[in-house]
Amino acid sequence: MTSQTTPAPAPEQIRRAPKVLLHDHLDGGLRPGTIIDLAREVGYEALPETEADKLGVWFREAADSGSLPRYLETFAHTCAVMQTKEALFRVAAECAQDLAEDGVVYAEIRYAPEQHLEKGLTLEEVVEAVNAGFREGERRAKESGHRIRVGALLTAMRHAARALEIAELANRYRDFGVVGFDIAGAEAGFPPTRHLDAFEYLKRENNHFTIHAGEAFGLPSIWQALQWCGADRLGHGVRIIDDIQIADDGTVELGRLASYVRDKRIPLEMCPTSNLQTGAATSYAEHPIGLLRRLHFRATVNTDNRLMSGTSMSREFEHLVGAFGYTLDDMQWFTVNAMKSAFIPFDERLAMINDVIKPGYAELKSEWLFQQTASTRGSVASAS
């Protein structure tokens, strides 16, 4: 294709483009103003700032530590205000609304139910409040002219010991708003094999799961997640580049694990801004997503934590467009990759690709044809 048919998309086109989000934490995406409201309602007094703008900046800066464990400390404040049904409902509804307004048409949002029990909620009450919030957010989005579908992923914390219980919970709610399972939290020192019983259970149930791996720890973590635990997708997975050698003449050689990941089309849930903050990557331009896209890995673009990273799906794409010169075709490629990798049934994924994503990009890609340019605007006389 010529560059004329696929010019660099403008920020406003990026926002309108249909996007698919597979890796976003519910407790990492609250509106700062909502945190302040909820803190007031529940009497939480430990917030570092009491003005929304300043609180947003505080989260971004505190998360900019270069270390995953320190990045994760900021979640104490968001989890603290997400301990009632009402709070969970509100946060989930706003999450769906915010994503829809940003042009996200399908999202899988994760959270750890075990982190929302401090005020006496049961695990089931947590899941049901969040699900109800997502349905409300979908409804509000529709009212304002957007379409979004949201599924939940239930996360177990890798330093804790409740993975099997949470996996069973995910399985119980699998036809009721929950589409899969995940483990998250500090990676170094907490290998995914600690939770083998949970993964084996889910496999026996024919259920789906992703594992945060290859973010703060390297290839052994990815290898375990895939070959011992049987993960369907990798959360981040950026360190897979440690198994890719590039010679001086540009020849690329994949090691056994990187080959496996590419050959088996293992989806990589990549989150560029989050990786810069935790030190998993050094700059957008050097982010492994550039190489992995060139090598046709099943790479996807994600936000991880919109609050801590001050980001959105559109902003992640803007950064990538700036760093790699991506076009709408590249955006479509990432989006179709993500939709193919979602945990909902195949026929629904296919319909989203064919009936929502491709027509959405076709519409955007055709816009240049109708731009008023000097050559089509006026008569020869008026141009002189």
Ligand X SMILES: O=c1[nH]cnc2c1ncn2[C@@H]1O[C@H](CO)[C@@H](O)[C@H]1O
Catalytic residue positions, numbered: 215
The minimum distance between CB 189 and Zn ion, in angstroms, equals 17
Residue 195 binds to ligand X (criterion: CB under 6 A)? no
Helix (H, G, I), strand (E, B) or coil at 171: helix
Residue nearest Zn ion (C-beta atom): 304
The neighbouring-strand residues paired with 210 are 182, 233
Contact 84, 121 (CB under 8 A): yes
The minimum distance between CB 300 and ligand X, in angstroms, equals 15
The minimum distance between CB 155 and ligand X, in angstroms, equals 5
Residue 27 binds to ligand X (criterion: CB under 6 A)? yes
212 is an annotated ligand-binding site residue: yes
d(CA 9, CA 356): 19
Residue 39 interface partner, choices Zn ion, ligand X, none, CB cut-off 5-8 Å depending on type: none
Segment lying near ligand X (by CB under 6 A), choices 92-100, 109-117, 334-342, 362-370? 109-117
Helix (H, G, I), strand (E, B) or coil at 190: coil
Residue nearest ligand X (C-beta atom): 184
Closest CA to 232 of 138, 321, 342: 342
List all residues 6 or more positions away from 324 whose beta carbon is below 8 Å from its beta carbon: 285, 290, 293, 330
Residue 185 interface partner, choices ligand X, Zn ion, none, CB cut-off 5-8 Å depending on type: ligand X
23 is an annotated ligand-binding site residue: yes
Q: What is the 3-state secondary structure (H, E, C) of 223-282?
A: HHHHHHCCCCEEEECHHHHHHEEECCCCCEEECHHHHHHHHCCCCEEECHHHHHHHCCCC
Residue 110 interface partner, choices Zn ion, ligand X, none, CB cut-off 5-8 Å depending on type: ligand X
Contact 287, 272 (CB under 8 A): yes
The minimum distance between CB 8 and ligand X, in angstroms, equals 29
Length of the chain: 384
List all residues 6 or more positions away from 98 whose beta carbon is below 8 Å from its beta carbon: 29, 31, 306, 312
Q: Nearer Cβ to Zn ion, position 128 or 304?
A: 304
Instruction: Tell me how far CA of residue 371 lies from CA of 18, 368, 376, in angstroms.
Output: 21, 5, 9
146 is an annotated ligand-binding site residue: no
The minimum distance between CB 115 and ligand X, in angstroms, equals 6
Among 72, 81, 109, 268, binds ligand X (CB under 6 A): 72
Residue 180 binds to ligand X (criterion: CB under 6 A)? no
The minimum distance between CB 237 and ligand X, in angstroms, equals 12
Residue 217 binds to ligand X (criterion: CB under 6 A)? no
Q: Nearer Cβ to ligand X, position 305 or 314?
A: 305
Residue 25 binds to ligand X (criterion: CB under 6 A)? yes
DSSP state of 108: E
> What is the rounded end-to-end Cα distance, in angstroms, of the chain?
33
Contact 235, 87 (CB under 8 A): no
Q: Nearer Cβ to ligand X, position 171 or 302?
A: 302
Q: Nearer Cβ to ligand X, position 75 or 173?
A: 75
- Element of type H or E holding 112: none
304 is an annotated ligand-binding site residue: yes
Residue 134 CA, distance from chain mean position: 16
Residue 212 binds to ligand X (criterion: CB under 6 A)? yes
Instruction: Give me the 273-312 binding string for Zn ion, x by CB under 5 A, dash otherwise.
Output: -------------------------------x--------
Contacts to Zn ion by CB under 5 A: 304
Which residues lie near ligand X (CB under 6 A)? 25, 27-28, 68, 72, 75, 79, 110-112, 115, 155, 184-185, 212, 215, 274, 304-305
Name the binding residues for Zn(2+): 23, 25, 212, 304
Q: Specify binding-site residues for substrate.
A: 25, 27, 185
